Amino acid sequence: MQKLIFGLAVCTFFALTQGLAMAASGRALGVDPNAEAKRKAETHLLTVGSDIFIGDRVVTGATGQVQIKFDDKTELVVGPSSSLVIEDYLLRADGSAGKLALNALAGTFRFVTGGAPKDRYTIKTPTGTIGVRGTAFELYVTNKGYYVLMQRGAVIGCNDLGDKCMILKAVCEVGRVSRNDAIVVGHADDVSGADRKALRRMFKYAADQSPLLREFRISGAERCLRRPAPGGQGGESLGDPEEFAPPPPKPESPPKTFRYID
């Protein structure tokens, strides 16, 4: 009898854990063509209304874009030629998010926090991590470093060793993190010339929100990059943009061309 009870308990446990593993953590509310989710050994073409699961690798081509809303109202935009993995997502009993872990592999993203405690958000990149503090920000990721443009709140960006970090707290502030360094570039208004053009290409949604659904737009986001840049260069340099050119993601039908930063 005890063996029977134990066997039933084991079966129930596995059934519950399998159900949790397959529970959707978010939903794609806006999808432009050439976007897919890689799930285990399968590839699923994403469409409006597609569920997003833990473990999914979301990949977009040169014209692709995915706007995802998680159950706790966190918003994530995966821009063109980008890839990202949903590593973990945990809802509490009251429906609020207890943890959200993302791995941004390459490309351009917009992230707006939802109902989870702000220290429960983790965003990894190939060269470091981002700590979120009640935030809306733009993110550009390559295999050699990442850039952040603040919209509101604060972030802490560190390299993968954790020995170099930078903190962004001001609206329109720009930061850069590589394997060996982490710097606050300065206010977007102080970036001019070729660096200014690079910012507009990296942070495409701060330059133009028209491709986004209304609920994924941030009021006043364009103020960071639409105002005229000053004549002189202020703050730190963005660095050599070619050094931070991202590798193209690899969807099932990869685009024939990929636009690198000039």
Q: For residue range 79-110, what is the model confidence (pLDDT) as tens digits?
A: 999 999 999 987 655 655 568 899 999 999 99
- The domains of the chain, with CATH numbers, are 25-244 (2.60.120.1440)
Pairing of strands 121-125, 97-112: parallel
3-state DSSP: the chain helix, strand, coil percent, rounded to 5? 20, 40, 40
Burial of residue 50, with CB atoms counted within 10 A of its CB: 0-12 exposed, 13-18 middle, 19 or more buried: buried
pLDDT digits (tens, 9 = 90+) for 154-186: 999 999 999 999 999 999 999 999 999 999 999
Contact 95, 120 (CB under 8 A): no
Helix (DSSP H) and strand (DSSP E) numbers for the chain? 4, 15
Of 57, 81, 77, nearest to 254 by C-alpha is: 81
Q: Where are the alpha helices (DSSP H) in the chain?
A: 2-21, 193-202, 204-207, 223-226
Tokens describing residue 167: 């903190």
What are the tokens at 56? 């999914």
Cα(29)–Cα(131) distance, integer angstroms:
26
Query: In the predicted model, what is the mean pLDDT of the chain?
Result: 81
- How confident is the model at residue 20, as a pLDDT? 37
Please give the angle made by the CA atoms of 50, 51 and 55, to the nearest 5 degrees: 125
User: What integer is the mean pLDDT of 51-73?
Assistant: 93
Q: Which residues, other chains included, contact 57 with Cβ-Cβ below 8 Å and sequence gap of 6+? A: 37, 38, 39, 83, 84, 85, 105
Q: In the predicted model, is pLDDT for residue 193 greater than 60? A: yes
Ranked by mean pLDDT, which of 49-58, 97-106, 111-120 comes out on top?
A: 49-58
Instruction: Yes or no: say if 30 and 213 are a contact pair by the CB < 8 Å rule.
Output: yes
Q: What is the DSSP letter of 22?
A: T
